Amino acid sequence: MRKFLLATSALVAFAGVAQAAPSPIDVTVGGYVDFRAAQFHESSIAPVAANRRSYDFETAYKVNVEAAGKASNGIEYGALVSLTNEAVSADGYAAGGTTAKIDQSYVWLSGGWGKALFGDSHGASDLFVSAPTVGEGQIDGKYVDFTDSLVRLRAAGVDAEENSTKVSYFTPKVGNANHKLQAAVSFAPNVNNQGQSVVTRKNTVTYNDFLEGSVQYTGNWNPVTAVISATASGANGNNTYNDFASFGFGAQLGYAGFTVGGSYVDTGDYDTLTTDKKSGDVWTIGGKYEFDKTAVAINYLDGSGRFPLSGETVKNFSAVGVGATYTWFPGLTSAVDAVLFSQDHVAAKDNDGHVFMLSQKLAF
């Protein structure tokens, strides 16, 4: 990242905690540009769409501006503004475009008591782990940008709310040098609501009062490492959708460049209509190997339910992904992804297909 120093003599105190900073605030600018080329096919759309393409290009970018300082009493503080053309849609998935929109934007405070975030942030779900991936993410990645009729499941199950405006608290990592435990909790009054959009009435489209908590353990028994996580979430529905409660577990083990792991999430009544409950779940398993400048991975996802907030019931969804990356120079990475998927609807036509993708990414 390239650093800029902004001279400042004071910072407005937050609840009387942060005092005037005697040193400048560090501002860093970073991000990425990612070019993707893909060949794709879906069985449920190709026979009926005469003009359906089988290949296309996509360019994605993100610009992050971060500010950080430290008060005389030791309290650290800062802010992040992240803009991207991979705008999150109403169903929680990213889609390319020509307009930069807010990905994250929040203020944070940090000390020996932990870290608090206020604004549009990923929140407690950042502590959850699932099957390892590389590059563009395979089963939980960017291949869905090249699909039309796919209602795929997420590895984290309930995760469409991760950029909603919320408050989050992360505890400090408790333990010793080799074993640490951390927990987090997030609360969002409205789901899929970001920025300056104030909602003065109850959300009648999705959910209200979304609450999420996660805990993560990291262990090191040199040369073996482990990450174990658990998560739970819930929200109030409305006249259309049921209230829901969801929970899940995930873990990864590492040894000599190899990482294996997986996850299971019971999504409960997430995204189910009050007239038609179709509770679901999602699980993943996979592994990766990193050596020198190369990383390879294979992963699998399976599940069922009504995902995302689309009104479509998926009896079963499965996807297998294979990916590899090669880092030419610091920040410059090439990647290849192959994802095969199968989607069984309850009422609509089933959908089988694939996405083969090549990408060139520069992170700065």
Residue 44 has what pLDDT? 76
CATH fold, domain 2-363, is Porin (2.40.160)
311-344: pLDDT as tens digits? 566 778 899 999 999 999 999 999 999 999 998 8
Separation CA 253–CA 220 (nearest Å): 10
Mind listing the pLDDT tens digit for each residue in 32-45? Answer: 999 999 999 988 76
Domain residue limits, the chain: 2-363
> Can you tell me whether residue 115 is helix, strand or coil?
strand
Q: Decide: helix, strand or coil at residue 125.
A: helix
Region label for 256, one of left (φ > 0), alpha (ψ between -120 and 50) or beta (otherwise): left
pLDDT at 249 over 90: yes
38-42, 168-172, 265-269, 316-320: range with highest mean pLDDT: 168-172
Q: Which residues in 7-85 belong to E strands, given as ranges? A: 25-42, 55-70, 76-84
Block residue for tokens 């109030």: 236
Q: How far is CA 55 from the centre of its chain?
A: 26
Q: Residue 203: is its pLDDT beyond 80?
A: no
Strand partners, 304: 281
> How does the average pLDDT of the chain come out, rounded?
84
Band (pLDDT 50/70/90 cuts) for residue 21 is very low
Residue 268's nearest CA partner among 312, 310, 300, 237 is 237
Q: Which residues pair with 318 in a beta bridge?
A: 302, 342
Instruction: Summarize the confidence of residues 257-272 as an average pLDDT.
Output: 91
| Cα 350 from Cα 342, distance rounded (Å) | 8
Q: Distance of alpha carbon 200 from its chain centroid, rounded?
A: 28
What's the whole-number mean pLDDT along residues 157-171?
A: 80
| pLDDT for res 16 | 47
Quote the CA–CA distance of 122 and 165 in Å, as a whole number.
9
* pLDDT score for 90: 41
Q: What was the pLDDT predicted at 161?
A: 56
Among residues 330, 308, 322, the alpha carbon closest in space to that of 150 is found at 308
- Type of residue at 171: T
Query: Which pLDDT value is given to residue 242?
Result: 83
The residue type of 59 is: T
Q: Which residues contact 200 (CB under 8 A, 6 or more apart)?
A: none
* pLDDT for the residue numbered 335: 98
Cα distance between residue 134 and residue 141, in whole Å: 9
Cis status, amide bond into 330, omega within 30 of 0: no
What are the backbone angles phi and psi of residue 206, rounded to the nearest 5°?
-125, -105
